[in-house]
A and B are shown apart, each in its own frame.
Chain A
Amino acid sequence: MSGVQLDSIVKAYGAVEVVHGIDLAVAEQEFVVLVGPSGCGKSTTLRMIAGLEEISGGTLTIDGKVMNAVAPKDRDVAMVFQNYALYPHLDVAENIAFGLRIRREAKQRIAESITEVAEILGLTPYLERRPADLSGGQRQRVAMGRAIVRNPKVFLFDEPLSNLDAKLRTQMRAEIKRLHKRLGATSIYVTHDQVEAMTLADRIVVMHDGRIEQIGTPMELFLNPVNTFVAGFLGSPPMNQVRAVVEENGVGPVASFGGQKLPLAPLPDLKSRVGAEVVLGIRPEYVTAVTADTADQVNIDMDLIETLGSEALLHASLADEPFVIKAETIGNVRSLETVTGFTIQPDLIRVFDGETGLALGGQDRAA
């Protein structure tokens, strides 16, 4: 099987361990995104795959071959760096050709490769320019061109879009996705931006403190975060987390917090937890804001409204914790100011253990 395989990969600097034994299998042609807060070990992991950091423990396999002690140049991987690392003294064509020249490819073939790559990336008019004379997006494209021209087995991306402004980032994101579709190369992409992760990935790997928290498709992670960390990391704005106590009211389980009650879906795990503390995970998108008193409504104290255009974020507090609701603005901009509470379908509430933060119940709610 082609692809990249990590088995119990460890990184330690002296006595300090920063990556604690990671297992990950990236299939051929798959686009995997490593995401997590800064310092979670995602970049270190990527650099170990690239061969820029030594692997302290575990086994790295690329295309079925163990790569732990193989020099970066012999791993057949290419990397796009955060700051692009374009050589300012070389023009675009020379930058793209750098790797091929170092490998002493035939002149003819180098020329052909440059033409081809420039065409793919729309860089043909700029081949003779220096990086200093290019826009941010063009530089980004040159950096990718330098990787593509090598035709490697695996592409590695180290936060390649974080130096671009918001608009350009969205544009380049789409371009990377298109490129992956076209080339179909195995790609591992590191970012701290969960939107990038959601939009680009076949599968997302959420990392935290040198460990993998969860691996899954974007929708799996969005709908079924395995713990409060993943729940709080993905989604924009992230999942609301409300501390509550499980009670039984004869019909089924209910969550009780700050004198209010909210019916829960009858998960088997809940029966044994009556009286125990849980964390309710409530997506801002899944609640319905209400203005007049409704029977099942949960009351909130409104704080302020951020209007984003078609949507608005309602910042409120619930049981002294911040609570955010995402509501559509069309037709009800006025009425948003009079919101007093919300309702939600019980099966859209995610329940986590109050102590361990692990999700309760099924992981099989479909997208």
Chain B
Amino acid sequence: MANMRLYSRGDKTFVILNMFLVGMFTLSTLYPFIYIASLSMSAGFEARAGNVVLGPVGLTLDAYRWVLSEPMFWISYRNTFIYTIGGTLMSLILIIPGAYALSRPQLYGRRFWNLMVAFTMWFHAGMIPFFLNMRDLGLLDSYFGIIIGFAVNGFNIILLRNFFENIPQSFEEAARMDGASEFQILWKVYVPLSKPAIATVALFCLVSRWNGFFWAMVLLQDEQKIPLQVYLRQTIAYLSDDEEFSSTLINQTYSVETVTAAIIVCSIIPVLLVYPFLQKYFNKGILLGGVKE
């Protein structure tokens, strides 16, 4: 099929036009990232004046110097790591055994428990009751609150449960006849057999934790606890109104624009680092969880 010489002229035109259009779409996806990267490395006054289009103008890393010397940047970066790693571990600890139990045909009341999980995907009490509940549980302004409060979601449970269900029952039976307990069966047989699915869930958790913003903004008041995304938001929203900050800019080679861009770049880099792994798994993940025959 891939032999161009076998193609008619009409087909060749079609193929080339198609490649051009895909190329355009790809470039337009890529461009904003290039623009931000260029901005972050440009001189402040050039950025202010709107002279940056493609590539840095007046190359300087002063914006990064400013960002990296800002204590709040490091604090929020550290917090994001705490929320991301703690939250992902918490999710796996809760989801893996739960999904395994739900996948066992002998579990009494299995339909009911599964419905209980699925229902949370269809109906959600909403923002206000969730917030009041977190407040009543004393989980406002707490690391633990962020880590535990978003640990489980129905989609991930069902994704993993479906994967467990598709592992031939004989693996469990063979282990059971060998005298393995349910915990041993899960830990020594099902977890190793489910590495791709577990990796998928773990990566979904990592990404959503890393990117989590809204609830962190709502639930956390203490500056010392906010994650990177909230810090970034505050920087974007308030730096430009901050006269003290503006006044320090007069003789500097960085500006609000370049500093913001630099924080954005710093925040994207970890995502880019795990992106190859993500790509390996998300195809599978979507198909695993999305449609169940």
Contact = CB atoms under 8 A, between A and B. Distances in A.
A79 B184 contact: no
A25 interface: no
B168 interface: yes
Contacts of B177: 50-52, 72-73, 77-79, 99
By CB atoms of chain A within 10 A, which of B168, B170, B188, B189 has the most?
B170
Given A88-B193, A89-B193, A102-B184, A83 B178 contact: no
A215 B180 CA distance: 35
Chain B facing A: main interface SS: helix
B178 A98 contact: yes
B178 A87 contact: no
A103 interface: yes
Nearest to B179: A73
Interface residues of B, number: 16
A130 to B, nearest CB: 12
A276 interface: no
A87 B184 CA distance: 13
A22 to B, nearest CB: 21
Given A83-B170, A85-B170, A98 B193 contact: no
A81 B179 contact: no
Interface in B159-196: 168, 170-171, 173-180, 184, 188-189, 192-193
A102 B178 contact: yes
A88 to B, nearest CB: 7
Contacts of B189: 87
Interface string B119-147: 00000000000000000000000000000
Contact of B173 (A79, A99, A102): A79
B150 to A, nearest CB: 31
A72 to B, nearest CB: 5
Contacts of A78: 177
A78 B188 CA distance: 19
Given A52-B173, A79-B173, A87-B171, A102 B193 contact: no
Contacts of B192: 87, 89
Contacts of A89: 192-193
A83 B193 contact: no
Interface of B: 168, 170-171, 173-180, 184, 188-189, 192-193
The 3 closest A-B pairs by CB, nearest first: A99-B178, A73-B179, A85-B174
